[in-house]
Amino acid sequence: MPATHRLPERAGAQLGEAEIAGEQDGSGLRLGICCSRFNENVTRRLLEGAYEALDRLGIAPEDRLVVVVPGAFELPLAAKRLAAEHAVDAVVCLGAVIRGETSHYDFVACQCAAGLQRVQLETGVPTVFGVLTTETLEQALDRSGGALGNKGDEAVATAVEMVNLLRRLREVGSRLAVGSRLKAT
Q: What are phi and psi of 129, to 5 degrees?
A: -85, 90
| Cα separations in angstroms, 77 against 70, 83, 175 | 12, 10, 36
What DSSP character marks residue 27? T
Dihedral sign, Cα of residue 111, residue 117, residue 123, residue 125: positive
Residue from 88, 153, 161 nearest 125 by CA: 88
Choosing from 40, 77, 87, 104, which is the catalytic residue?
104
CA 130 – CA 157 distance, rounded (Å): 11
- Look up 5 and say whether it is catalytic: no
Active site residues: 104
